[in-house]
Amino acid sequence: MRIIKAVLLFVIVCVLAGVGFLYLAPQKATSLALDIERKRSGLERKEIKLSDDLNYVYLEGGKGEPLILLHGFGANKDNFTRVARYLTPHYRVIIPDHIGFGESSHPQDADYGALTQAVRIRTLAQALDIDKAHIGGSSMGGHIAMMYAFVYPNETQSLWLLNPGGIWSAPPSELRDVMAKTNKNPLMAKNEDEFAEIFAFVMADPPFIPRPILNVMAQERINNYELEQRIFKTLTSDSAEKYITGLQTPVLIVFGDQDRAINPATADILHNLMPNSEVIIMKGLGHLPMIEQPRLASADYLKFREALDKEN
């Protein structure tokens, strides 16, 4: 009985210490949590300066064929950290912060269109000695991935599009309805409460993240608010449809059926535009399947890649 009580007391002390650390040192707790998650996924933070305006910070891990993963609007490289755990055993995974986001350069007067961002990603790939790659992208990252395949079709081995943007002929989403009625963008945050609302808006099955860590994560968005406003306007002014019609690249299109940011009907439009594509609709998930259900999302992708290998 004494041993049981001692063990319980030890557990209680550890829990209280952890909670205290979380609330008294949230930045250190957040950094530690990210480091642990990256290590579990076999990822290492790296940095490369390509020019005065192009300083990329990225995560890299694994061996095999290169797989470049592109995060969405307002996000950063760690949006793919959880799913990378299941991918680094098979591929060389590279996950950059886009220029204008995360820890990469934030030139205020740069062009942030999807086509220009795709050209930048190719510059990064060349600097990393990557001649051909499989490209994955979430939301805005999917839009950029499609532009990459359009401009560099012989260097793009396949596309993995997770709830991609860039198809503005699709039926309106809840995001577009809210913006039309209120003139407010639910994906933008000026304070910590608004960031917490974004977190709830984009995911139907979000992982648990303590509020102190969410508040630390919010600072990146808050500080980048003005630039993100301009980037969002630029992205939504140009459609990918005219570029990708008839694209022959093998494509896996994935949507969460509860996506509030981009209407899941976009999947059928993409499927009709790209003849060598297949669609997976993930039940009960929102805009970020690779965060909401990383194991399931990665399993679908691995099956897609296995089928490609058999064809080749």
As annotated, the active-site residues are 71, 139
Interacting residues of 66 by C-beta distance below 8 A, sequence separation 6+: 91, 92, 94, 125, 128, 130, 132, 133, 134
Both tokens of 235, joined, read: 């992205």
Contact 59, 70 (CB under 8 A): no
Q: What is the end-to-end Cα distance of the chain in Å, rounded?
A: 64
DSSP secondary-structure letter at 94? E
CA gap 229, 290 in Å, rounded: 25
Residue whose token pair is 């979000």: 206
3-state secondary structure (DSSP) of residue 282: strand
- Give phi and psi for 70, each to the nearest 5: -115, 120
